[in-house]
Structure 1
């Protein structure tokens, strides 16, 4: 039990995140701590002048039955703040801001390669801030759409079949694709820099501990309130990929031999990358953009729960029953799109097996 008058550390900041959820930002660790809206109210009274008993008396308003329940809730809330080192006198975190260079999770350990991106990108970001934001977005979107259309039209109509491509083009295309991925992540970082929420670092994550994936730490995107900016931040990588897709298509259209084959393989890899980045079933760029645009969290869970209860003709739980008709239709559409995505992906994998086997055999000289 917290005995002395609890006081929130002075350097902490309370902000609102996705779905308007209150968050406490700790500049010592760089961590965000999620709290409830009722907890946010209690925070305003943690100024070191009120004891725990004062807080219970104030919020219970002399109601003894209510005081007992509030007593347990306030004790739990204060204990959680104390464990997180958020109260004056709590054990302070020992990690520096942003943590170390290596972080682990259940399925994706992450290694920070550099924290210098904000400094490197600021000169360009300063120039772009002088241009009207809407104009920049229109140019980026139109260029990306045109680039994807041109690149994939070239891939499917003006290139040789995969089995006729030079095998040595594959490792070259893979190397170039890594540069494209780096530019994809740099695009996220550039938009974050323009919005005043610089990324914390550029690094590599090992998906399932063996598949390398580049990423930028956009934790501080929580700090930007505008939905439009959050959507652009989430989609920046996909938009930049469209411009590079146009570049690959131009090379594939106007080249032959090893260079042309490399460009064709790059187009195939870029198509796969687009499919992955629009994956509605994982925390992809597309899913992040959807959350940013709607202001919702766990839209995927709500959508599949709604589909499941509808198909089984079961009574909807309270959190789904209270959705408006428009929101319900939107979640249903998202769920059906997700099912269609899985079916299309399964079909593409099935059709791609013979080509993959052929390329693998050719690579080993068989």
Structure 2
């Protein structure tokens, strides 16, 4: 039940995030709630001294013709705040820690392994902060590009077909790849530490309750207001992967037997990981970097909405009706790229089926 007059909970914090976007931070749940700038103004009056009717009268006094519209907007805003547990008298959220180390969702339950990563990374982050940020990013980016180029050239030009390699090498490479994934996530955590927003924890998620995926909780990245910082934070894992791709390529070129086969498999897995991390259809690192660089939210949904309505020759929905011509073309280009990417994945998976079957048979001795 909402208190009357409505009052925002005392412990909530209203901050400005990236691109000066207003956010409400709930320290009880650790969640951030994005609001509009108009909503931020209304929040300053939710101090328990004005009723809903007084709020409507106050905001409509300069334009009485909009009283009904303002009343609906304020009602919707208060309802949203109440459903989120942000008003006094509304259903309170659970306190932190009540769920233990395990969090469940429809497709990806998560298990927190440690919350001590910020303490471990603090000395490294402090040392790196002494180096100019631009220089660090330049070195990391150039090294990653060179590493990917060298590693994938080695895989495609100097390694035998993966389907001709042995099953034991695949199992070893899988174990090593899990370590690489942990390093990938640690790179995100290190950049977050340097930006002053340490990660909340390192853990393992089970995609579709089956596939283990390492992750770091970067929820507090909302506090990073600089676009460049948000982009680097999103791409940190991909950049670190490029350096390790070079390492795998060097091992593959300078070894024989099982070690060479293991390195070849690693290169194949790293290529697959890069494709996944640049996936424009999922909340991947590449997608997160795109949103950070452009300041957009739900770019994928907006792009497909523009494509769908354009193909059907329908008017755009209200929230997209005022798009400029350049923005509309940009969304269409992104949507078409996403469709092309999906077709590429389908083609690659179809042609990988024979190799996958051969690998499965080799692992069972057939």
For the aligned pair, the TM-score class normalised by the smaller chain equals: over 0.9
Shift of 1:40: 1.4
Q: CA RMSD in A?
A: 2.3
Q: Structure 1 residues 183, 56: CA separation in 2 closer, same or farther (over 3 Å shift)? A: same
- CA deviations 1:205-229 (Å, max 9, x no partner) are 1111111111111111111111110
Shift of 1:37: 3.0
Q: Structure 1 residues 2, 88: CA separation in 2 closer, same or farther (over 3 Å shift)? A: closer
- CA deviations 1:175-198 (Å, max 9, x no partner) are 000000000000001001110111
Q: Structure 1 residues 3, 197: CA separation in 2 closer, same or farther (over 3 Å shift)? A: closer
Show the counterpart of 2:12.
12
Show the counterpart of 2:218.
218
Shift of 1:200: 0.8
Q: Structure 1 residues 342, 90: CA separation in 2 closer, same or farther (over 3 Å shift)? A: closer
Q: Structure 1 residues 210, 18: CA separation in 2 closer, same or farther (over 3 Å shift)? A: farther
Q: Structure 1 residues 38, 343: CA separation in 2 closer, same or farther (over 3 Å shift)? A: same
Cα distance in structure 1, aligned partners of 2:209 and 2:40:
38
Contact 1:29 1:99 (8 Å CA) reproduced: no
Cα distance in structure 1, aligned partners of 2:3 and 2:120:
48
Q: Structure 1 residues 37, 359: CA separation in 2 closer, same or farther (over 3 Å shift)? A: same
SS in 1 for 2:77: helix
Shift of 1:309: 3.0
Cα distance in structure 1, aligned partners of 2:345 and 2:106:
26
- CA deviations 1:98-125 (Å, max 9, x no partner) are 9632111111111111111111111111
Show the counterpart of 1:242.
242
Deviating more after overlay: 33-42 vs 100-109: 33-42
User: Structure 1: where are the runs of 5+ without partners?
Assistant: none
- CA deviations 1:52-78 (Å, max 9, x no partner) are 343222112187764455445434533
Shift of 1:163: 3.0
SS in 1 for 2:167: coil
Cα distance in structure 2, aligned partners of 1:83 and 1:305:
28
Show the counterpart of 2:179.
179
Contact 1:2 1:75 (8 Å CA) reproduced: no
SS in 1 for 2:336: helix
Deviating more after overlay: 221-230 vs 83-92: 83-92
Cα distance in structure 1, aligned partners of 2:3 and 2:181:
53
Cα distance in structure 2, aligned partners of 1:18 and 1:208:
31
Shift of 1:351: 1.9
Contact 2:19 2:227 (8 Å CA) reproduced: no
Contact 1:31 1:98 (8 Å CA) reproduced: no
Show the counterpart of 1:338.
338
Q: Structure 1 residues 357, 85: CA separation in 2 closer, same or farther (over 3 Å shift)? A: closer
Contact 1:191 1:236 (8 Å CA) reproduced: yes
Show the counterpart of 2:195.
195
Contact 1:205 1:215 (8 Å CA) reproduced: yes
- CA deviations 1:115-146 (Å, max 9, x no partner) are 11111111111111111110000000000000
Cα distance in structure 1, aligned partners of 2:6 and 2:307:
46
Deviating more after overlay: 157-166 vs 200-209: 157-166
Cα distance in structure 2, aligned partners of 1:308 and 1:66:
34
Cα distance in structure 2, aligned partners of 1:283 and 1:325:
26
User: Structure 2: where are the runs of 5+ without partners?
Assistant: none
- CA deviations 1:250-276 (Å, max 9, x no partner) are 000000101110000000000000000
Q: Structure 1 residues 90, 158: CA separation in 2 closer, same or farther (over 3 Å shift)? A: same
Matched, 1:259 2:256: no
- CA deviations 1:3-58 (Å, max 9, x no partner) are 64443233321124467543210112211123333321110112343343432221
Equivalent residues, number: 366
Cα distance in structure 2, aligned partners of 1:180 and 1:343:
28
Q: Structure 1 residues 87, 314: CA separation in 2 closer, same or farther (over 3 Å shift)? A: closer
Cα distance in structure 2, aligned partners of 1:60 and 1:310:
38
Q: Structure 1 residues 88, 309: CA separation in 2 closer, same or farther (over 3 Å shift)? A: closer
Q: Structure 1 residues 314, 88: CA separation in 2 closer, same or farther (over 3 Å shift)? A: closer
